[in-house]
Amino acid sequence: MSLEKKLSQLGKSKDLQPNRDWEKATKHELLLEIHAQNRLHKAQQLTTAERFDLVMMRFARRLMPSLTKVTISLLIVMMGSGTAFAAQASVPGEALWPIKRSMEKAELTLTFNPVKETEVHIKHINKRLSEIDKILETSLDNEIVKPEKIAKKEKAIKQAVSHLEKDIAAVDTGLKIVKEEKAPLEIVELAQKVTEVTNDAVVSLEEQAVVSNDKAIEEALNDVKDINKEVGEAAVSLALEVHETIEAEAVAVAVEVAEGAEETKEQVEITEEAAAVAVVVAEMIADEINQLSDDIDNAQEKVDVIGQVELNSAIKTVEDNDEADLKAGVAEPVDLNESPVLEKMTEVKEQPQEAGVILDEAKVLLEEGSLKDALDKIAESKEINAKAETVIEILDEAAVIEADAENTIDGEVIDGNVNPVEQIININVETGEQEIEYIVEEAAIELDEDEAIIEESDLE
């Protein structure tokens, strides 16, 4: 029996026939659904008048610009006006500064390429730094310093710093977006621009913190300086990651060619791009080395300066003691090496030197083309030098208080100088060295456990 005949017989079988009640119920449900769909379709049909209104509405909407477009257009017109020119020179706290910020936002709104958008934020970072410079240049030397003027200055600085932080964060985010969307060479070139602006910002902010003569301003500037450092380091790491990825692809191409495969145009482009990326990343690492070398030199100079101040203070103490008083036992001889600060300076002085040795190793690795190993050595050198700078800052403060104590006896004022820490002055008068140890110990508590160079045993 053929298959076709078997199927025909199965179709006539009573066992395979659907239930009549089910057929009727299903047919009824389908008809109801079709009827409902027809009613809905008729309800949704527009009349001729309604269709005309809809067409006119769409046409008017295309012609009528949005509020955003109108605002941007007005700002573009303003950019060529005197108001816009004057606004570019404004700083936080001035009437035209909101206009300047609005123009910057409009510039970003008209930028659709992530690379260009990041470059705009880089430009804005430089503007914020210029604003901070201008605010700090406002001298109050020739007038009475009023509290409201100081408060206004602090507010303006903090406002500029706040926007600077936002621009830095936007640069960091933009670079990560570019990494996912663009070619390797374009990514590392943008990363290089980011490191350049962040390194310049760190140097500028350090100088601004020194000249600010205001603790609140100094803290704000130091905070944003640290953010710049983090973003700059992240940009270098990102560039190195891109380099390693494209380098691995280039190596794979080289292996295929060595095995006899014909090199394609795409493979040639990968090899050339890998070489170009390596050059840019090497330049970035070289800049990191130069920057760190300057930091190490500065740390070494600070050690020498603080040590010399302490030494001069000890020498002056000896000279002030009359030789006859010394012989009579009225005054105690002074050991020039007994200063607690000098003792710590001797220990800390070795750390910038150690950081310098490791940095030299990074230079050699860079010359050999070992970019990752060179960057690892830079990180190691940075860590050592950063710890040294932390302790140098602590000892610098200790040296200042120790010097102030020479003009104070039991908390009393001498020659118009007041020691800001009376309790520590009393300790200094009674025990001498204990004052410095106490200050260093208190400051070291603020460090992370793995960063605290001054151990408890050193303070005993």
- Strand (E) or helix (H) holding 413: strand 412-413
The size of the chain, in residues, is 460
C-alpha–C-alpha distance, residues 359 and 167, integer Å: 31
pLDDT at 367 over 90: yes
Contact 75, 98 (CB under 8 A): no
Q: How far apart are CA 378 and CA 290, in angstroms?
A: 10
pLDDT tier, 418 (very low <50, low <70, confident <90, very high otherwise): very low
**Predicted pLDDT of residue 328:** 52
Q: For the chain, state the CA radius of gyration.
A: 37
Instruction: Report angle CA 365, 282, 371 to the nearest 5 degrees.
Output: 40
> DSSP string covering 328-375, please?
HTSS----TT--HHHHHHHHHHHHHHHHHHHHHHHHHHHHTT-HHHHH
Closest CA to 284 of 233, 219, 339: 233
pLDDT at residue 299 in the model: 86
64 pLDDT higher than 60:
no
pLDDT of residue 48: 67
Residue 26 has pLDDT above 90, yes or no: no
pLDDT band at 354 (very low <50, low <70, confident <90, very high): very high
Mean pLDDT of the 285-292 span: 94
Q: What tens digit of pLDDT does each residue of 177-194 get? A: 999 889 999 999 999 999
Mean pLDDT confidence for 342-367: 84
Residues 368-410 pLDDT 10s: 999 999 999 999 999 998 888 877 777 666 555 555 555 444 4
The Cα–Cα gap between 138 and 133 comes to 9
* Tokens standing for residue 291: 């920057």
Check: CB of residue 112 under 8 Å from CB of residue 174.
no
**CA neighbor of 362 nearest in space, from 345, 383, 343:** 383
DSSP string, 248-276: HHHHHHHHHHHTTPPPPHHHHHHHHHHHH
So what's the pLDDT on residue 160? Answer: 92
Tokens 């303006």, located at residue? 156
The domains found in the chain, sorted by start residue, are: 61-110 (no CATH), 112-263 (1.20.58), 281-460 (no CATH)
Q: How far apart are CA 51 and CA 328, in angstroms?
A: 116
Sorted by sequence, the CB contacts under 8 Å of residue 455 that are 6+ apart come out as none
Mean pLDDT for the stretch of residues 142-151: 70
CA 292, CA 382: separation in Å to the nearest integer?
Answer: 7
H/E element, 408 = strand 408-409
- Tell whether the model's pLDDT for residue 170 goes beyond 90: yes
Please state, rounded to an integer, the average pLDDT across all residues of the chain: 74
CA nearest neighbour of 433 among 414, 410, 460, 396: 460
Beta-carbon neighbour count of residue 408 at 10 Å? 21
Of 185, 292, 184, nearest in space to 232 by CA: 292
Give the pLDDT confidence score for residue 411 in this predicted structure: 42
Q: Could you give the CA distance from residue 254 to residue 274 in angstroms, rounded to a whole number?
A: 12
Q: Please give the Cα distance from 439 to 340 (Å, whole number).
A: 11
Q: Locate tokens 């005197």: which residue?
A: 82
pTM for the complete prediction?
0.64
Tell me, what's the pLDDT at 433? 40
* pLDDT at residue number 50: 58
Residue 377: phi and psi, rounded to 5, are -65, -35
Cβ-proximal residues to 396 (8 Å cutoff; 6+ apart), any chain: 302, 306
Pair of tokens at residue 396: 């610098």
pLDDT-above-70 percentage for the chain: 59
Give 409's strand partners. 412
Q: Which is more confident, 413 or 398? A: 398
In sequence order, the 6+-apart residues with CB closer than 8 A to the CB of 401 are 419, 420, 421, 424, 435, 439
Tokens representing residue 273 in the block: 């791009």
C-alpha 83, offset from chain centre: 33
DSSP code, position 17: S
Q: Residue 241 has which token pair?
A: 């990651």
203-252 residue pLDDT tens: 899 888 888 878 888 888 889 999 999 999 999 999 999 999 999 999 99
70-90 pLDDT tens trace: 555 555 555 555 666 677 888
- The answer on pLDDT for 174 being more than 60 is yes
Closest CA to 127 of 105, 148, 146: 105
CA distance 301 to 200: 21
Q: Which two tokens stand for residue 372?
A: 């990752």
User: pLDDT at residue 456 above 50?
Assistant: no
What pLDDT shows up at residue 209? 86
More confident residue, 9 or 155: 155
Asked whether the beta carbons of 214 and 150 are under 8 A apart, the reply is yes
405-411: list long-range contacts, CB under 8 Å, 24+ apart: 405/429, 405/435, 406/313
pLDDT at 211: 82
| 412 DSSP assignment | E
What is the pLDDT at residue 360?
96
Mean pLDDT, rounded, for 290-296: 93
